[in-house]
Amino acid sequence: DVKVTQSSRYLVKRTGEKVFLECVQDMDHENMFWYRQDPGLGLRLIYFSYDVKMKEKGDIPEGYSVSREKKERFSLILESASTNQTSMYLCASSLTASSGNTIYFGEGSWLTVV
């Protein structure tokens, strides 16, 4: 069974703080993703990575960066958190580059920026 684990489920951070959200998958998946989920806006892609040290911007990358130093781990970084980044963040992974592979999501990280 695929497991995508997000280390922090609930975080409260102050405006201007640097925030790290960590994600680990245990199925040797090549692709990893960070989505943001907001009520009424669905799931929006922030960044994705199709290989170690490779990354591409999604639809809403502003204010975020990512790091993928190892295949199983994909980190989302908020360099200077702002209140409009209060949201639920979902990490996901998929197996290979061929089209239409199932994306498996983590449980989500609820981030509140005050």
Partner 1 sequence: GENVEQHPSTLSVQEGDSAVIKCTYSDSASNYFPWYKQELGKRPQLIIDIRSNVGEKKDQRIAVTLNKTAKHFSLHITETQPEDSAVYFCAANSGGSNYKLTFGKGTLLTVNP
Please, which of residues 10-69 interact with partner 1 by CB under 8 A? Answer: 31, 33, 35, 40-45, 48, 50, 56, 58-59
Residues 35, 45 contacting (CB under 8 angstroms): yes
Closer CB to partner 1, residue 83 or residue 99? 99
Q: Is 90 left (phi over 0), alpha (psi -120 to 50) or beta?
A: beta
Report the alpha-carbon distance of residue 24 to residue 35 in Å, rounded.
15
If one asks whether residue 105 binds partner 1 (CB under 8 A), the answer comes out as yes
Interacting residues toward partner 1 by CB under 8 A: 4, 31, 33, 35, 40-45, 48, 50, 56, 58-59, 90, 94, 97-100, 102-103, 105-108
